[in-house]
Amino acid sequence: MKTYLVGGAVRDAMLGRAVKDRDWVVVGGEAEHMKRMGFKPVGRDFPVFLHPDTQEEYALARTERKSGHGYGGFEFHATPDVTLEEDLKRRDLTINAMARDESGQLIDPYNGAMDLENRCLRHVSEAFCEDPLRVLRVARFAARYYHMGFYVAEETLELMRTIGQSGELNHLVPERVWQETCSALAEPDADHYFTTLIDCDALPIVLPEMANAIQSLEQFPLRALRLALQNGLSVVERFACVSLQTLKGDKASIEVLQKLCKRLRLPQPYSELARLLNQHLPVLQQEDWRAETLWPLLERLDALRRPERLQSLLECIATVSDLQQQPALPREVMTLVQQARSINAQNLMSQGIQGPALGKALRALRIEHTRLWINQTAAGDSHHG
């Protein structure tokens, strides 16, 4: 029984990147032997085990055969006679199909080191077509390594197009599409995830709502995402920028966005911020503010209870407005919100104000405070000018 370090750990070490996870392949091993050594099985029918001390994954060398649709439609064959080369052949890209033995010797049967040096993302074999998830994975790698000069080989792009034409992409479950998309949004050049999917004709299949918006808005969502990346926005904020369906806040476009969020079963922070940006963008780009309009808007945005969400929305608005060369509600409005939160109802209650009158008086105080803030901000801008 021999053990080899494989995949991403080998690739990233060769690129000089930090190695986060280490995966291992066991050649000549059997499941019962692994269990006797204290390894814990992962799942019932999957030949992967966790090391009893390090919790790193050790997989029995295996081959696989397509037996159904989607990325889960495979039968595995994991016996002691499966070679390392056979195991590596089933992997997606040549740069992920390298291994090192216990002495550190590189095993590279599919020229991954050469592709790594040439900055090329290339498939290992024609079996690439059997797993539709690989289309999204390659796009994610493109987003991760674009800044290092990597590109997708034309023959690999062609296979990705073939997968789309075969109908296999339609069998990807929405949760997995979102998982890959969310991971891609965390990469340094997340916009290249979407441009790669466009290049292989996959975006209209896996994310049709976003594909339509990107096309109809002349790729404005991708430009917004690119600027969001440059500005260091969070992953949630990046999604809001790239999910723009409208620059006018029209109801039909917002309904399309809501269908997208529901279909992908997005976590609430993502769907909420994207909806708020699409819905309120035109309003938040006013140039002249009055207390009677600004404070009700902040109420609608639930600013007092959700200041962190408002802060994220302001970051998105600033990014989008910068691209449009439009005015935007400044980030400094957070100071107003913090001051408004400190206005205490206890003082009003001590004056004998109670019931519905208390809410009205409190709101009137906050509107008056908003008026003062607007005047101070305008005076500050005038003095600065």
Distance CA 100, CA 86 (A): 15
Q: What is the DSSP letter of 68?
A: S
* Residues 167-196: tens digit of each pLDDT: 999 999 999 999 999 999 999 999 999 999
**Res. 67: pLDDT tops 60:** no
Mean pLDDT of 17-34: 90
Query: Which among 45, 34, 42 has a CA at the least distance from the CA of 3?
Result: 34
CB count, 10 Å around CB of 211?
Answer: 18
Name the class of domain 1-111.
Answer: alpha beta
The confidence score (pLDDT) of residue 348 equals 72
Q: What is the DSSP letter of 39?
A: P
Helical (H) or strand (E) element with 297: helix 291-300
Token representation of residue 82: 């499966």
**Res. 379: pLDDT tops 70:** no
* Residues 215-254: tens digit of each pLDDT: 999 999 999 999 999 999 999 999 999 999 999 999 999 9
Contact 169, 161 (CB under 8 A): no
Q: What is the dihedral of CA 310, 314, 320, 325, to 10 degrees?
A: 140
**Res. 74: pLDDT tops 70:** no
Query: Which among 138, 100, 84 has a CA at the least distance from the CA of 13?
Result: 100
Distance CA 23, CA 166 (A): 32
Looking at the DSSP assignment, which residues form a beta bridge with residue 100? Answer: 5, 106
HSE (side-chain half, CA atoms, 13 Å) at 319:
29
**Res. 71: pLDDT tops 60:** no
Mean pLDDT of 208-214: 96
Distance CA 225, CA 192 (A): 10
Distance CA 240, CA 228 (A): 10
Distance CA 86, CA 79 (A): 12
Better-predicted residue by pLDDT, 78 or 152: 152
* Residues 246-277: tens digit of each pLDDT: 999 999 999 999 999 999 999 999 999 999 99
Q: What is the dihedral of CA 231, 234, 237, 238, to 10 degrees?
A: 70
Distance CA 47, CA 186 (A): 30
> Which residue ranges make up each domain of the chain?
1-111
Contact 173, 70 (CB under 8 A): yes
State which amino acid sits at residue 319: T
* Residues 359-371: tens digit of each pLDDT: 888 888 889 989 9
Q: How confident is the model at residue 352 (pLDDT cuts 50, 70, 90)?
A: confident
Distance CA 134, CA 152 (A): 13
pTM for this one?
Answer: 0.89
Mean pLDDT of 342-358: 78
